[in-house]
Amino acid sequence: MIRAFQGTVIGRTAAKPGYMWVEGNDFRYIDAYQDERSVTGTLEGTVGVTTGYIWLDGNNIHYIDQSGNERYITPSTIGNSPVHGGFPYSFTFWFDGT
């Protein structure tokens, strides 16, 4: 199952595609076209740990925002193959094997 999300374009950058970080309440990343994108995750709760942790839990991407809150992004299901026709997303987490 392929799951994806697409953030709002913030602007074009010279940064290398694939960079990701936390800024304020947002998860930010550089897509394949060198656009900086931003997604504000759903608030999970206050945990008070170091800002910037990013991890996967089930189908969700979790991160700690700059206030020490845990947030998560739930990607949408878009198909069963990474070469799914009309695949509109230019940024994915990809794990092959363990």
Domains of the chain by residue range: 2-79
Tens digits of residue pLDDT in 2-23: 556 677 788 888 888 888 899 9
Q: Which residue has the tokens 């595609």?
A: 17
CA 46 to the chain's CA centroid: 20
Q: Is the pTM of this model over 0.85?
A: no
Q: Tens digit of pLDDT for each residue in 42-87?
A: 999 888 788 889 988 888 889 999 999 999 998 876 565 544 444 4
